[in-house]
């Protein structure tokens, strides 16, 4: 490789950006179309970088081009460089006018159905000019991809214990124990005390048994020496669980935060059934280690911390 100091002086941000677009689009022709420049200009930019580095960044193959090991390394670092630059520009924008900005959040459905709307409502009342985009994620390792690729600023959702993703930072928000709920006008809502066994033969809406939520619910029933009920309806949709329970004909299990923050509006009531502590999961903020968060993300995190702390205190006082 060429001398690092000389190569650093010769590599231009524009050329590095072109490299990232080529890698994302998979061809120079598609990159040229996206950037609205000629294909020879794209080829020249790549050639200039390869000359500055003294290394080949792409291999030409039958299906077009492929990144070499050197190209992959430069793209990986280039994504970080442009992300930090974008974060820096957003910080300058915020300093110039704290009323504007952008925030990108990833959220699991359980957080989006309970805690998140409350946080967004408070946040946007205080900062009405900041744009928020929320992308829904699912309970799988793939949900961290958007965070690693810097397409979102932070992720809100359930995290496993132990948490083995060494490049990610986790900040617990609340211990989100599961609760049994039914419609506010259902026959069960009038009960002052119930055992899980009292509801064994009722009409349940439960998560499929071959999923993480389903396995967790099955474990809850086993704690009481019971088999998981043969539910007439199984679904991973919390929205569907809530709507069906609200009819008064069904019982379901929800994260406590959903029942606490949204249950009243949805016509639901938490039933007086004591579930074991094993029925709790940890709702957390997940961020990428080593990444500088923008000011809008830091303000939002402070906001949702306050709400979660108040909710946890209230839940503890009610036990």
- Tokens 């080529």 correspond to what residue? 22
Q: Is the pLDDT at 63 greater than 80, yes or no?
A: no
Give residue 286's pLDDT band: very low, low, confident or very high (50, 70, 90). Answer: very high
How much is the pTM?
0.74
Tell me what the mean pLDDT of segment 214-228 comes to. 85
Of the candidates 126, 223, 127, 227, the one whose C-alpha atom is nearest the C-alpha of residue 178 is: 223
| Phi, psi dihedral angles at 186 (to 5 degrees) | -75, 165
pLDDT digits (tens, 9 = 90+) for 165-184: 999 999 999 888 889 999 99
pLDDT digits (tens, 9 = 90+) for 93-133: 888 888 888 999 999 888 999 999 999 999 999 999 999 99
pLDDT digits (tens, 9 = 90+) for 2-39: 577 777 788 888 989 999 999 988 889 899 999 999 99
Give residue 303's pLDDT band: very low, low, confident or very high (50, 70, 90). Answer: very high
| Phi, psi dihedral angles at 42 (to 5 degrees) | -65, -45
Question: Distance between terminal CA atoms of the chain?
Answer: 65
pLDDT digits (tens, 9 = 90+) for 139-168: 555 668 888 888 899 999 888 777 889 999
Q: Is the pLDDT at 290 greater than 90, yes or no?
A: no
Minimum mean pLDDT among 108-122, 203-217, 295-309: which range? 203-217
**How distant, in Å, are the alpha carbons of 107, 144, 183, 207 from that of 158?**
9, 12, 26, 16
> How far is residue 192's CA from residue 158's CA, in Å, rounded to a whole number?
31
Of the candidates 74, 42, 44, the one whose C-alpha atom is nearest the C-alpha of residue 57 is: 74
> Please, how many CA atoms are within 13 Å of residue 93, restricted to the half-sphere of its CB?
15
> How far is residue 255's CA from residue 269's CA, in Å, rounded to a whole number?
13
Residues contacting 56, CB < 8 A, separation 6+: 50, 68, 70, 71
Mean pLDDT of the chain: 88
Confidence at residue 239, expressed as pLDDT on a 0 to 100 scale? 92
Omega of the bond leading into 162 within 30 degrees of 0 (cis) = yes
- Structural domains for the chain: 4-84 (1.10.10.10), 97-174+281-318 (3.40.190.10), 175-279 (3.40.190.290)
Percent share of the chain, pLDDT over 70: 94
Q: Is the pLDDT at 319 greater than 60, yes or no?
A: no
Tell me what the mean pLDDT of segment 69-74 comes to. 92
Give residue 200's pLDDT band: very low, low, confident or very high (50, 70, 90). Answer: confident
């Amino acid at each position: 490789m060429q001398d690092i100091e000389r190569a650093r002086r010769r590599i231009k941000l524009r050329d590095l950006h072109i490299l990232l677009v080529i890698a994302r689009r998979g061809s120079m022709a598609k990159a040229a179309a996206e950037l609205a420049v000629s294909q020879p200009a794209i080829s020249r930019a790549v050639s200039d970088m390869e000359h500055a580095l003294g290394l080949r960044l792409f291999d030409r193959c039958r299906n077009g081009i492929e990144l070499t090991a050197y190209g992959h390394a430069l793209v990986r670092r280039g994504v970080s460089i442009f992300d930090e630059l974008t974060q820096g520009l957003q910080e300058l924008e915020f300093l110039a006018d704290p009323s504007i900005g952008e925030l990108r959040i990833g959220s699991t459905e359980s957080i989006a159905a309970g805690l998140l709307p409350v946080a967004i409502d408070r946040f946007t009342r205080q900062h009405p000019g900041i744009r928020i985009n929320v992308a829904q994620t699912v309970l799988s390792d793939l949900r961290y991809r958007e965070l690693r690729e810097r397409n979102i600023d932070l992720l809100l959702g359930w995290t496993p214990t132990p948490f083995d993703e060494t490049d990610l930072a986790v900040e617990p928000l609340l211990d989100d124990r599961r609760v049994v709920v039914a419609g506010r006008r259902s026959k069960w809502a009038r009960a002052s005390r119930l055992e899980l066994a009292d509801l064994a033969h009722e009409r349940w809406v439960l998560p499929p048994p071959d999923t993480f939520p389903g396995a967790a619910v099955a474990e809850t029933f086993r704690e009481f020496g019971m088999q998981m009920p043969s539910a007439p309806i199984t679904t991973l949709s919390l929205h569907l669980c809530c709507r069906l329970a609200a009819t008064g004909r069904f019982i379901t299990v929800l994260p406590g935060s959903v029942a606490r923050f949204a249950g009243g509006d949805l016509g639901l009531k938490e039933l007086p059934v004591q579930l074991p502590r094993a029925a709790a999961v940890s709702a957390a903020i997940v961020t990428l280690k080593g990444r500088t968060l923008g000011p809008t993300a830091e303000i939002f995190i402070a906001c949702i911390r306050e709400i979660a702390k108040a909710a946890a205190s209230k839940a503890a006082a009610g036990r």
